[in-house]
A and B are shown apart, each in its own frame.
Chain A
Amino acid sequence: MADPMADLLVRLTDEALADALRDLGRAIAVPRSTAGADDDVAARARARIVADPSLAARSAARSRWSWLGAGRPARLAVGLALLAAVLLAAVAAAGILGVPGIRIALFGAPATVEPGPTASPGTPDRPIGAGAGLGRIVALADVAELTGFEPRLPAGFAPPDVAWLAAARLTLVWAAGPDLPETALDGVGLLVTEFRGRVDAEYYQKVATTGTVVEPVRVAGHAGYWLAGRPHFFFYVDPDGHVVDDTRRWVGDTLIVEADGITYRIESALGRDATVALAEGLTRP
């Protein structure tokens, strides 16, 4: 026997040896930067992904789910009812949901995700929604020209406090108030995101924890989905096939619906029925 300590270890039961190994696992030196530091491994990986569009493009091209969101335009002719049935079958098969232009993938095994510094209550220096990765502020009157579509606004609401534009993704933001409970974004009561749901290439992928409830809903005859519960991440693929990682960390309960080629994402703390009613009232001013 090499030494008394080795002798002692050899004579441990399997269970005690396993415990000793678990103890060892905590004591082994691991060269590492601190998770959360500005230049930690995750941050460096992100920098490489962002700097190399081919990484994202390759990802999109290989998507085995791309038929859901990237079918030929003719697929639209299938009709929403049939599409919903197909998608529900896909849900049953693989846990995937979608509406035209949207892909939702549910990820299991929740990561420990804490809400990060996101939006802040609006101030003259810091308009509502600032810091949430929504893009740049635009005038509502300019949106149609910039995006190529007329935005819809919820009936019975004042005009949005701020309109943000990132690429062709429009996000209208309303401050929380007596009738609009605060969402996961500080000071924000309602977000309505509108973008052209190009059936060819653009779709959303939702990375969610298993605690997220996904429920098919009908919104004025259109297929939609209600996502509620745990925080989730968004990714989407742009018309060039690149995966775009939405810069927002996470949002609250979400209704996603597509109508006339435009996808609407409505986030609020109003609950399902009120959010569906709000979506049904979306009109072009």
Chain B
Amino acid sequence: MAYEELVRGHQDLAVRTAHLIAPDGDAEDAVQDAFVKAWAALPRFRAGSPFRPWLLRIVANEARNRRRSAVRRTGLALRVAEDRPSGDAAPSPESAVLATERQATLLAALARLRDEDREIVAARYLLDLSEAEAAETLGLPRGTVKSRLSRAIGRLRAALADGDGATDG
């Protein structure tokens, strides 16, 4: 089936997107539903526009629908070292420990962010989407991405500085 091949090319990114938006939900389940909904919505896809962010937007909406209300997203975790791509291998045990510690600290701060802030940080940096792709994926006006990202980074810094600083406001 051609559609299966088409979406499979975006599957890994879609699952990562769903997981970052709803860390405590079943990301694969959300993506599966999103792929089925995208199929039904295919005739509304605007010809000539990029397919990936269009698909990711459906994935993001599906993930949001599954999000439970929670202040802290406990589902976010680091991969265990042996599961990491070999390219990530650190040069020495000491720096590996440091890198993991740094990631864990950052992740803990990220998990305390409001959903809205975590989404924009995830889209632009964790998923490394372009500004335009992040805007479409999250359903934001393109001009909003930069300002929202800037505020979210500010709150991330606050969360790093003070363990509880980013859960309100």
Q: Assess whether B27 is in contact with A95, with CB atoms less than 8 Å apart.
A: no
Q: Assess whether B19 is in contact with A31, with CB atoms less than 8 Å apart.
A: yes
Q: Assess whether A95 is in contact with B43, with CB atoms less than 8 Å apart.
A: no
| Chain B window 1-34, contacts with chain A (Cβ cutoff 8 Å), 1 for yes, 0 for no | 1111111111110111001100000111001100
User: Chain B residues near A146 (CB, 8 Å)?
Assistant: none
Most chain A CB within a 10 A radius of its CB, from B2, B53, B78: B2
Q: Assess whether A21 is in contact with B105, with CB atoms less than 8 Å apart.
A: no
Q: Assess whether A48 is in contact with B36, with CB atoms less than 8 Å apart.
A: yes
User: Chain A residues near B102 (CB, 8 Å)?
Assistant: 5, 8-9, 20
Cβ of A149 within 8 Å of any chain B Cβ, yes or no, is no
A20 to B157 Cα, complex, angstroms: 13
Of the listed stretches A163-171, A193-201, A243-251, A273-281, chain B binds A243-251
A28 to B5 Cα, complex, angstroms: 26
Total chain A interface residues with beta-carbon distance under 8 A = 73
Scan residues 3-62 of chain A and give those whose CB is less than 8 A from a CB of chain B: 3, 5-10, 14, 17-18, 20-33, 35-36, 40-46, 48-50, 55-56, 58-60, 62
Scan residues 16-70 of chain B and give those whose CB is less than 8 A from a CB of chain A: 16, 19-20, 26-28, 31-32, 35-36, 39-53
**Chain A minimum-CB-distance residue to B104:** A5
A96 to B15 Cα, complex, angstroms: 31
Cβ of A108 within 8 Å of any chain B Cβ, yes or no, is yes
**Chain A minimum-CB-distance residue to B158:** A10
A35 to B1 Cα, complex, angstroms: 15
User: Chain B residues near A31 (CB, 8 Å)?
Assistant: 15, 19, 26-28
Most chain A CB within a 10 A radius of its CB, from B26, B51, B77: B51
Cβ of A94 within 8 Å of any chain B Cβ, yes or no, is yes
Q: How large is the interface on B (under 10, 10 to 19, 20 to 34, 35 or more residues)?
A: 35 or more
The dominant DSSP class at the A interface is mixed
10 sample A-B contacts, Cβ–Cβ < 8 Å, listed by A number = A14-B153, A17-B156, A21-B110, A29-B83, A31-B27, A36-B8, A48-B32, A64-B44, A105-B47, A113-B6
**Footprint of A on B, CB under 8 Å?**
1-12, 14-16, 19-20, 26-28, 31-32, 35-36, 39-53, 76-80, 83-85, 88, 99-103, 105-107, 109-110, 121-122, 124-128, 153, 156-157, 160-163
Beyond A20-B103, A24-B107, A56-B39, 19 extra complex contacts between A and B, CB < 8 Å: A2-B105, A5-B101, A6-B109, A14-B153, A17-B153, A25-B126, A26-B88, A27-B103, A29-B77, A41-B35, A42-B7, A42-B8, A49-B39, A58-B40, A62-B44, A95-B47, A96-B47, A111-B5, A235-B42
**Footprint of B on A, CB under 8 Å?**
1-3, 5-10, 14, 17-18, 20-33, 35-36, 40-46, 48-50, 55-56, 58-60, 62-66, 94-96, 105-109, 111-113, 116, 205, 207, 210, 233-235, 243, 245-250
